[in-house]
Amino acid sequence: MQEDFAKTVAFAIEQETEAKNFYRAVAAKTSKKDIKEMFLKLAAEEERHEKLLSDVLHQKEVSLNFSESEDYGVSDTVEEPPKISDEMTLADVFAVAMKNEEKAMIMYQQLAKDAPSPEIGKFFEELAKMEQGHKLAMEQSYTDVAYSEVW
């Protein structure tokens, strides 16, 4: 495996770890059961991504298959809050989460393009689709909270 590719995968693992820690921190701070469960589920997914990426880094065979998700572009219309704080609104938390998922999706799309083999490229394409699904879920949650007066 190329050294640059290994460094890139190691960076992706770090990104997944940061996302996992963010989701766990949000879950720990909320008293709403459904929100806590959603963020704990996302944290578990990020932990699973860490393992998958580690397997790729250690040249283990990995196979994934995800469906492509819709992209309504909500993330494109929302600015990420400048900093994470205890005073963030729930809409801000969802905004950060959807932006994080979008960044992960774009990162995996680029890794797919730069992959040293078609098999690894396919793996990263599947991870990008998975992150796109997470982004969609965060966008839906964001619009439910940010535009609750519409409902």
For residues 47 and 109, is the Cβ–Cβ distance under 8 A? Answer: no
- Spell out a b/e string for 23-57, using b for 16 or more CB atoms within 10 Å of the CB, else e: bbebbeeeeeeebeebbeebbebbbebbebbeebb
What is the model's pLDDT at position 61? 63
Give how far Cα 43 sits from Cα of 18, 28, 75, Å.
10, 11, 20
Residue 70 phi/psi, 5-degree rounding, is: -65, 155
Instruction: Please write the tens of the pLDDT for every residue from 76-108.
Output: 888 877 666 667 788 888 888 899 889 999 988
Map out the domains of the chain as residue ranges. 3-150
User: What is 3-150's CATH topology?
Assistant: Ferritin (1.20.1260)
Longest CA span, the chain: 52
Instruction: Please write the tens of the pLDDT for every residue from 6-55.
Output: 787 888 899 889 989 988 988 898 888 888 888 898 899 889 889 888 88
SS3 17: helix
Q: Please, is 145 exposed, middle or buried when counting C-beta atoms within 10 Å of its C-beta (0-12, 13-18, 19+)?
A: middle
Q: Please, is 130 exposed, middle or buried when counting C-beta atoms within 10 Å of its C-beta (0-12, 13-18, 19+)?
A: buried
Residue 72 banded pLDDT, cuts 50, 70, 90: confident
Residue 109 banded pLDDT, cuts 50, 70, 90: very high
Tell me the CA end-to-end span of the chain in Å, nearest whole number.
Answer: 51
Checking phi first, is residue 135 left (phi over 0); if not, alpha (psi -120 to 50) or beta?
Answer: alpha
